[in-house]
Amino acid sequence: MSVIEGSILDFRRLDLLAREDSIIHRLDPRTKVLVTLAFILVVVSFDRYAVNALLPFAIFPVALMAVANLPTRFIAGKVLTVSFFAVAIGILNPLLDRQILIQIDGIGISGGWLSFISILLRSALTVTAALILTATTGFGAICQALERLGMPTIFARQLTFMYRYLFVLAEESQRMSNARELRSCRGTGMGIRPYASMVGHLLLRTWERAERVHRAMLCRGYKGNMVTQKSAGMRLWDLSFLLGWITLFVLLRMYDVPRLLGHLTMMPHL
Amino acid sequence: MSHHIVAADALCFSYPDGTAALKEVTFCIHHGESVAVIGANGAGKSTLLQHLNGFLTPTSGTVRIGDATVTRDNLCDVRKTVGMVFQNPDDQLFMPTVYEDVAFGPRNLGMSVADVERKVRDALAAVDAGHLAAKPPYRLSGGEKKRVAIATVLAMDPAILVMDEPTAGLDPFARREVIGLLKAFSHTKIITSHDLDMVAEVCGRVIVLHAGQLRADGPTGQLFADRSLLAACHLEPPLSMQHCALCGRAATPLSAAA
């Protein structure tokens, strides 16, 4: 299976998961968007050598995945794929920053390694949170939530349409790429040049399709603003979910829990 | 009832590059009629359809829907009266779920939440797609997409249904379902198609276009029996009216086929 087909299937799997039912799924999309944003902001706000202090934050994705009954292997697999980007970003740190910062059992760990691990942790945490948000909410609902939270309508619209036609575009490029492959007989198929023309064709087709879609909208009374039905408002459960998690994030940000625990266990020896 | 009349009077249209796509096309379709517009590829069928709800404006001549000539000012009303089902349902289903998509039109018409809900339910039930409401469009099969696309239009309560190739790309079963739907609708219907067997079943009247000109306009049976006319317009009689190449069965007259 090709890369494009694979990633389409992943998207579809996320969409399917979002149609399941759990107390997390039933939360107002805005609640989940806000909590996820808060989580990401707090995780990113730590200083570059933070490793221990980040660990307790794993409770958020773990708890949500358990309650929402998400497939651990699928999500972990996705996170792993994205981790390669994080590796690419951080891989030079251990070489550039060789100053020893901490000692564990006599082995010195340099600042570079610490910041590298920190980058990996943060990427894993934030990507997992974003995936959980998508897998429990669905992309369309997220767009709507963002709009109701104040994102300019035009961006929300763009995102919704992008998501709808991503599949169509991906399938189209896949067919085109297959057609090229079938006639290039394992050779290079005239090298890079056909791709230029393929991209051009895709752009023109997309353009034409956009025009047809716009016409379809006009046909059904579109006058420039999308009329959507508002979902039920936030309930008490939403508010407690929101405030509960944000309080926890702030506490975890202010107090280094692993260190506190360490102190507690060391107390008797003092 | 003059309200549902669709009429073209000396309709001419040329694309900006100078290609004359329609030349002096004149016809009048009355309330409740079921009319097929047929012709070879490039005969001007799609261009003609585009005029029926004002996506294209005639270079000269007029298009009349009901009592009003289509102009820029009454496009909204025209589009409410004329429901158009596109050839490619992917162009028509643009919302995240089937329900949202069918609700798009009624919401734009400013209906109340309860009304929208009822409209959507009725429209989906009319095409036997109630169970698809929560699905995203890309998870539908070709036949399902087509039925839902029809529902999106029905939800607007159009008086006139315009369909571009309603049976193209469907398997025999899905095609049969769509034909069943079309026959059940009491709307005025204007259908373009290369599926002349479907036309023979659904439409009582046929308009034949060739190279932008109206070549014939008359009862389906009569025109489909006119082989020289069909051949001149690069068409063939429907398969049900052709001599069977496999078993040697003689061609059936249209009355028996329909």
Is B155:B148 a contact under the CB 8 Å cutoff?
no
What pLDDT is recorded for position B190? 96
Report residue A86 as tokens.
């994080």
- A vs B: CB pairs below 8 A: 77
A9-15: long-range contacts (C-beta < 8 A, 24 or more apart)? A10/A78, A11/A166, A11/A167, A12/A167, A12/B138, A12/B139, A13/A74, A14/A131, A14/A134, A14/A135, A14/A139, A15/A138, A15/A139, A15/B136
Say what the pLDDT of residue A81 is. Answer: 86
Give CA–CA dist B239/A191, Å, rounded: 46
Q: CB–CB of B108 and A164 under 8 A? A: no
A13 interfaces chain B, CB cutoff of 8 Å: no
Across the interface, whether the CB atoms of A219 and B83 are under 8 A apart is answered yes
Which segments of chain A does DSSP mark as H helices, in order?
A: 3-18, 29-44, 59-68, 72-90, 93-96, 111-137, 139-148, 153-182, 193-219, 236-254, 257-266
- Which residue on chain A is closest to B88 by alpha carbon? A212
Distance CA A36, CA A199 (A): 35
pLDDT in tens, A89-125: 888 888 888 888 777 777 778 888 889 999 999 999 9
Which residues of chain B have a CB within 8 Å of the CB of A139? Answer: 96
Residue B83 sits at the chain A interface (C-beta within 8 Å) = yes
Contact at CB, A221 and B108, closer than 8 angstroms: yes
- Average pLDDT of the segment spanning B117-122: 94
Residue-level pLDDT at B258: 44
Confidence of residue A189 (pLDDT cuts 50, 70, 90): low
* Chain-chain contact of B94 with A168 (C-beta, under 8 angstroms): no
Mean of pLDDT over chain A:
84
User: Could you give phi then psi for residue B209, rounded to 5 degrees?
Assistant: -105, 145
Could you say which of A160, A209, A218 has the minimum Cβ distance to residue B96?
A: A160
Q: What is the pLDDT of residue A31?
A: 93
* A179 or A253, greater pLDDT: A253
Residue of chain B whose alpha carbon sits nearest to that of A205: B91
Do A221 and B90 count as a contact with CB atoms less than 8 A apart? no
Q: Are B194 and B212 in contact (CB under 8 A)?
A: no
| Segment B20-76, tens digit of pLDDT | 999 999 999 999 999 999 999 989 998 999 999 888 899 999 999 988 899 888 888
A222 touches chain B (CB under 8 A): yes
How much of chain B, in percent, has pLDDT values that exceed 70? Answer: 96
According to DSSP, the β-strands at B68-69 and B60-65 are: antiparallel
Higher pLDDT: A166 or A59? It is A59
Identify which of A5-9, B94-98, B100-104, B207-211 has the greatest average pLDDT: B207-211
CB–CB of B100 and A140 under 8 A? yes
For residue B91, the tally of other CB atoms under 10 A from its CB is: 19
Residue A2 has pLDDT above 70, yes or no: no
Q: Does residue A176 register a pLDDT over 90?
A: no
Query: Which residue in chain B is spatially nearest to A167 when comparing CA positions?
Result: B138
Distance CA B229, CA B225 (A): 9
Arithmetic mean of pLDDT, A130-148: 89
**Arithmetic mean of pLDDT, B1-6:** 70
pLDDT tier for residue A164 given thresholds of 50, 70 and 90: confident
In this predicted structure, what is the pLDDT of residue B252? 65
Q: What percent of chain A has pLDDT over 70?
A: 91
Mean pLDDT for chain B overall? 89
Do A221 and B95 count as a contact with CB atoms less than 8 A apart?
no
Cα three-residue angle B160-B161-B164, rounded to 5 degrees = 145
Distance CA B25, CA B116 (A): 39
Identify which of B79, B97, B109 has the shortest CB distance to residue A219: B79
Residues of B in contact with A212 (CB under 8 A): 86, 88, 91
Partners of A160 on chain B (C-beta within 8 Å) are 95-96
Chain A residues touching residue B94 (CB < 8 angstroms) = 161, 164-165, 213, 216-217
Q: What is the distance between the alpha carbons of residues B105 and A133, in angstroms, rounded to a whole number?
A: 30
Q: What is the percentage of chain B residues whose pLDDT exceeds 90?
A: 63
CB neighbourhood size of B226 (10 A)? 15
Mapping DSSP onto H, E and C, the string for chain B reads CHHHCEEEEEEEEECCCCCEEEEEEEEEECCCCEEEEECCCCCCHHHHHHHHCCCCCCCEEEEEECCEECCHHHHHHHHHHEEEECCCHHHHCCCCCHHHHHHHHHHHCCCCHHHHHHHHHHHHHHCCCHHHCCCCHHHCCHHHHHHHHHHHHHCCCCCEEEEECCCCCCCHHHHHHHHHHHHHCCCEEEEECCCHHHHHHHCCEEEEEECCEEEEEEEHHHHHCCHHHHHHCCCCCCHHHCCCCCCCCCCCCHHHHC
Chain A residues in contact with B46 (beta carbon < 8 A): none
Chain A contact set for B165 (CB, 8 A): none
**B153/A219 touch (CB, cutoff 8 Å), yes or no:** yes
**Chain B: closest CA distance from residue A83 (Å):** 29
| Cβ contacts of B55 on chain A, cutoff 8 Å | 215, 218
> What's the pLDDT at A159?
87
**Residue B213: its pLDDT value, please?**
94
pLDDT value at position A265? Answer: 67
Of B92, B134, B138, the CB nearest to A216: B92
Q: How confident is the model at residue B214 (pLDDT cuts 50, 70, 90)?
A: very high
Q: Any chain A CB within 8 A of the CB of B122?
A: no
Band of the pLDDT at B189, cuts 50, 70, 90? Answer: very high
Residue B97 contacts A, CB cutoff 8 Å: yes
Could you tell me whether strands B6-14 and B160-164 are parallel, antiparallel, or unpaired per DSSP bridges? Answer: unpaired
* CA–CA dist A253, B62 (Å, integer): 71
Check pLDDT > 60 for residue A151: yes
Q: How far is CA A189 from CA A111, A142, A171, A176, A198, in A?
A: 48, 42, 21, 13, 13
Nearest residue on chain A to B139, alpha-carbon basis: A12
d(CA B145, CA B137): 7
Distance CA B161, CA B150 (A): 9
- Around Cβ B87, how many Cβ atoms within 10 Å? 20
Chain A's closest residue to B108, CA to CA, is A221
pLDDT at B257: 45
Determine, for residues B152 and A215 on separate chains, whether the beta-carbon distance falls below 8 Å.
Answer: no
> Does B161 reach chain A within 8 Å, measured CB to CB?
no
Which residues, in sequence order, are bridge partners of residue B7?
Answer: B28, B64
- Across the interface, of A140, A164, A215, the residue whose CB is closest to B55 is A215
DSSP codes joined into one string, A93-139: HHHH---EEEEETTEEEEHHHHHHHHHHHHHHHHHHHHHHHHHHH-H
Of A138, A163, A221, the CB nearest to B105: A221
Rounded to 10°, the helix A139-148/A3-18 angle is 70
Reply yes or no on whether the pLDDT at B96 is more than 70: yes
Q: What is the largest CA-CA distance in chain A?
A: 79
- B20-29 and B6-14: which strand pairing? antiparallel
Task: Report whether pLDDT(B256) > 60.
Answer: no
Are A220 and B104 in contact (CB < 8 Å)? yes
Whether residue B218 is predicted with pLDDT greater than 80 in this model: the reply is: yes
Residue B11 structure tokens: 């309709």
Point out the residue among A15, A161, A221 whose CB comes nearest to the CB of B94. A161
Residue B146: pLDDT over 90: yes
Beta pairing, strands B60-65 & B6-14 = antiparallel
Q: What are the structural domain ranges in chain B?
A: 2-86+158-257
Q: Please check whether the domain covering B2-86+158-257 is classified as CATH 3.40.50.300.
A: yes
pLDDT above 90 for A171: no
